Structure 1
């Protein structure tokens, strides 16, 4: 039987706010095949993840431009048009989080996010300032699913791992939390999250 839950930790991207780099790049690189090639070979997921680990955008851009000088404008467009990649919040899951906070639940956030774009996100989506606090990977140079980031979050916020519930859209990140001794659920949508919380006895 699961332990009592005292702490609830939310991921952010694709749990509370939408994220999709194809939104601006469907305009910047209209051809589907070329755009897919660009994301698989130039501005890749792994490249972007290093900004979440703390690498500066300047370093990141310089690295790729040295390798792909003919793609300089498109490479710089990734950071330049980041705002378009986060077009809206997920109202259902935000409402759940806010309700938990209003009830007096201990809510924090743990996210893979570059430091500067996270601060921008907080201005765009003020509800990101409502939880007790947040661990941003880019600030501490650790990323999910490294067990160390969960352990640091638990230490910094005084969480009991076995009494902590983590909510993330990524299976590897959910598994990372479980390896750290947390309870965790995979986020699909708000309705699924409600069912998961019901099953764990968490009113929202």
Structure 2
């Protein structure tokens, strides 16, 4: 089986509500406020941020657009964007899951919505080539999940029929898009539940 990992929230830590609360303690006091601010800032990964994810605008441009759209100070918006790479820390239990899947003989790929500067940071900071045979970043291919084009690109890049791909992603809309392409897919909530699902599918031993 070829297993495809999303990155943010699956392989690497990404929890926008708590992230913004840490970066903007003067502005955000609760996780509820953080979630509301994240919905405005990241626009559910559409809008300005979606263009940044696709590599269609630069970091400076997304900062300018978000500040203009929201009225938040330019410097505060820039501080959030600068802080994202440090937020993207590997999730230890997912690293163990990756190790165990590789040891079980599965081929691992990744498919990530990731702006170019953050993708380059991850490539330099972590041995992605040791964890995964290959992968696609949205910023490099100028497409974005959940578009059918992104999944079609992945199928061609991985070189296998969609039915042989199992996708782990933490966003329901991306899981639904994968299923619509005849991939197998699992909604990732945490590494332990993902492991149980993979065991139930006989892809790992209990």
Worse-matched range after superposition: 64-73 or 144-153 = 64-73
Alignment deviations for residues 34-71 of structure 1 (CA, whole Å, 9 cap, x no partner): 76665444554433232112122122123234445661
Q: Is contact 1:110-1:135 (8 Å) kept?
A: yes
Alignment deviations for residues 49-105 of structure 1 (CA, whole Å, 9 cap, x no partner): 32112122122123234445661111211222223322x322122211122223432
Tell me the secondary structure at the aligned position of residue 74 of structure 2: helix
**1:200 matched to 2:201:** yes
**1:31 matched to 2:33:** no
Structure 1 unmatched runs, 5+: 1-5
Indicate the residue corresponding to 1:14 in structure 2: 9
Indicate the residue corresponding to 1:82 in structure 2: 84
Provide the C-alpha distance between the structure 2 equivalents of 1:66 and 1:20, rounded to a whole number of angstroms.
24
Tell me the secondary structure at the aligned position of residue 73 of structure 2: helix
Provide the C-alpha distance between the structure 2 equivalents of 1:174 and 1:69, rounded to a whole number of angstroms.
34
Indicate the residue corresponding to 1:108 in structure 2: 109
Provide the C-alpha distance between the structure 2 equivalents of 1:173 and 1:37, rounded to a whole number of angstroms.
21
Q: Is contact 1:24-1:81 (8 Å) kept?
A: no
TM-superposed CA distance for 1:141, in Å, is: 1.3
Alignment deviations for residues 129-158 of structure 1 (CA, whole Å, 9 cap, x no partner): 521111101111111111221111011120
Q: 1:40 to 1:190 in 2, by over 3 A?
A: closer
Indicate the residue corresponding to 2:151 in structure 1: 150
Q: Is contact 2:59-2:81 (8 Å) kept?
A: yes
Provide the C-alpha distance between the structure 1 equivalents of 2:172 and 2:65, rounded to a whole number of angstroms.
30
Question: Which structure is higher in RCO with an 8 Å CA cutoff and minimum separation 6?
Answer: 1
Question: Displaced runs of 4+ in structure 1, greater than 6 A?
Answer: none
Q: Is contact 1:29-1:35 (8 Å) kept?
A: no
Provide the C-alpha distance between the structure 2 equivalents of 1:65 and 1:181, rounded to a whole number of angstroms.
40
* TM-score computed with the length of structure 1 as normaliser: 0.84
- RMSD over aligned Cα, in angstroms? 2.4
Q: Is contact 1:162-1:183 (8 Å) kept?
A: yes
